[in-house]
Amino acid sequence: MSTLKEFLKELHQESKVTRKMLERIPADKYEWQPHVKSMTIRRLSSHLEELPQWITMAFTTNELNFATVPYEPVLWKDNLELLDIFERSLAEATMHLEKGKEEELNPTWLLKNGDQVLVTMTKRELVRHAISQTIHHRAQLGVFLRLLDVPIPASYGPSADENEF
């Protein structure tokens, strides 16, 4: 199986659980955070819905420079809009993985702030990083939801709230 197909399979598998997590965010808790150093649920969820866009960036850019493209999270009003944004982001990433070529993953990609290079990686590593970040931040959201006593969906096996996965 090609790397692109492996990434596509993993992206779709992880997206099933991410979607379930995003659906369960209580509407009255968007601005809640478990600690002053933690993101709010809204901010964390915004990051989760945008992470597939990093896969798209691997195919469409050679760098992201915060000095020329300042970061601005998408503002969503409810879970339906959040899920819609996530689905569009996922669809675009899917399209690039389906139509992309293995050799497109070889070039270097940079994350910069002005002239300062923050991260250098291959585009393959950027795709892997986007999927890993999704898993990482989804786990954070799971902790947030657990602290709010929201049932946690099964992911890599049953959860304390769901026996099916």
Nearest to 59 by CA among 32, 10, 98: 98
CA 145 – CA 33 distance, rounded (Å): 10
pLDDT tens, residue order, the chain (165 aa): 799 999 999 999 999 999 999 999 999 999 999 999 999 999 999 999 999 999 999 999 999 999 999 888 888 999 999 999 999 999 999 999 999 999 999 999 999 999 999 999 999 999 999 999 999 999 999 999 999 999 999 999 999 998 875
Q: Report the pLDDT value the prediction gives residue 165, as an integer from 0 to 100.
A: 57
* Three-state helix/strand/coil letters over 4-72: HHHHHHHHHHHHHHHHHHHHCCCHHHCCCCCCCCCCCHHHHHHHHHHCHHHHHHHHHCCEEECCCCCCC
Buried b (16+ CB within 10 A) or exposed e, 9-41: ebbeebbebbbbbbebbeeebbeeeeeeeebeb
Q: Looking up tokens 């995003």, which residue turns up?
A: 22
Q: Report the pLDDT value the prediction gives residue 70, as an integer from 0 to 100.
A: 85
CA 42 – CA 139 distance, rounded (Å): 15
Q: Report the pLDDT value the prediction gives residue 123, as an integer from 0 to 100.
A: 98
CA 74 – CA 59 distance, rounded (Å): 21
CA 55 – CA 70 distance, rounded (Å): 19
Q: Report the pLDDT value the prediction gives residue 141, as an integer from 0 to 100.
A: 98
